[in-house]
Amino acid sequence: MNLKYIVKNPSLSPQTITLPQGLSLDGGRLRSIRPVVVQLPPMSMREILFNENGMPVNEGCIQDLNVAHENDDGTPIDPHGDRRERTRIRNITGDRPTMFVSETRRVYPNLVVDDSRNLGGAQLLAQFSHLRSARDNTTAIYSPAALNMTYASRTDSLYHAASTGKVEIESIVGNGYNSSNAITMRVRNPGNQAVRMVVPRGTMVEQQTWTGKQNLVVNDDVWIDIEPGQTGAFPLPAFCANASGGSPSGEPMNLTPFVFNDMGGSFQSQDAMWRTTDSRRPVSMR
């Protein structure tokens, strides 16, 4: 029986992706017995088939990852959905960062944004939509799927616990990137039972306000345990999510419900993450 491995290129630049010898194909048991070099056009994915011995036997068809649907001005987008879509902005006036944030709030009216609880997501979608609009030569608010993200579904996640009141996030601070403590959080357990939660790999953490600095993406699963009535300080490892932004340096940040999808080696290094998010294209966000 053949095993399928999917390689993705979400950028607007052609990519040469190398699947290394020894790559785990099924969680650890089966590994590739030789390297595979894959050429991928922009915004595409390809299925690579391996046999039961880990030998590549076929490169499957290329599939399109471009935006599939364009909405009229003001059309809401479901943040839980998996459709690659965008809502055009017709009335382009004033300061662009302010416009992108206000339009994102309009397109996502039900998205929880509460700086006092360090919960958000609109700022992140606005900034990523700004960057993708520049690459696509348009002005639009994009769906999470079009930005290579999914809405968090895990009920054991920190976001779920904080959004339902099980715990309280007292603060989130960004301290650089590509380090084991790029993010520092203070979390309180107001209940009478111990709480165990996870911050899943790929969790997106946004700047609370548009500073032009980087959003961050947690690059490994982090489990958090807090006893009843206690408050804990927790460092999180994270990569920069935007090559074109400055480094976080003590700014307040928000936890978002969005998880960045691994497009094949995205979490191997900071450079790999930048290739996935925006191909390191120098787009000003200020």
Is 283 contained in some domain?
no
Residues 20 and 51 in one domain: yes
Query: Which distant-in-sequence residues (6+ apart) come within 8 Å of 105 by Cβ?
Result: 111, 113, 122
Confidence (pLDDT) at 283 = 34
Q: What is the CA radius of gyration of the chain?
A: 20
Is 44 contained in some domain?
yes
Confidence (pLDDT) at 285 = 33
Residues 44 and 161 in one domain: no
Residues 165 and 183 in one domain: yes
Is 174 contained in some domain?
yes
Residues 193 and 116 in one domain: yes
**Which tokens in the block code for residue 90?**
């017709």
Domain end among 43, 64, 85: 64
Residues 39 and 80 in one domain: no
Domain span at residue 149 reads: 69-278
Is 46 contained in some domain?
yes
Tally of domains within the chain: 2
CB atoms < 10 A from the CB of 190, how many? 14
In contact, 85 and 77? CB cutoff 8 Å? yes
What is the C-alpha to C-alpha distance for residues 156 and 162, in angstroms, rounded to an integer?
11
Residues 86 and 130 in one domain: yes
Confidence (pLDDT) at 107 = 97
What is the C-alpha to C-alpha distance for residues 170 and 61, in angstroms, rounded to an integer?
48
Query: Which distant-in-sequence residues (6+ apart) come within 8 Å of 101 by Cβ?
Result: 122, 123, 126, 210
Residues 43 and 79 in one domain: no
On the CB side of 37, CA atoms within 13 Å amount to 1
Domain end among 22, 41, 64: 64
Domain end among 48, 64, 80: 64
What is the C-alpha to C-alpha distance for residues 157 and 163, in angstroms, rounded to an integer?
10
What is the C-alpha to C-alpha distance for residues 166 and 233, in angstroms, rounded to an integer?
17
Q: What is the DSSP string of 205-233?
A: EEESS--SBPPEEE-S-EEEEE-TT-EEE
Residues 97 and 220 in one domain: yes
Element (H, E) at 53: none
pLDDT in tens, the chain (286 residues): 578 888 888 777 788 888 999 998 877 788 999 998 888 887 787 878 888 889 888 665 555 668 889 999 989 999 999 999 999 998 888 788 899 999 999 999 999 999 999 999 999 999 999 988 987 889 999 999 999 899 998 999 999 999 999 999 999 999 999 999 999 999 999 999 999 999 999 999 999 998 888 999 999 999 999 999 999 999 999 999 988 788 999 999 999 999 998 876 788 889 888 877 765 533 333 3
User: In sequence order, which ranges of the chain are alpha helices (DSSP H)?
Assistant: 96-107, 122-136, 158-163, 270-278
In contact, 246 and 213? CB cutoff 8 Å? yes
What is the C-alpha to C-alpha distance for residues 71 and 88, in angstroms, rounded to an integer?
6
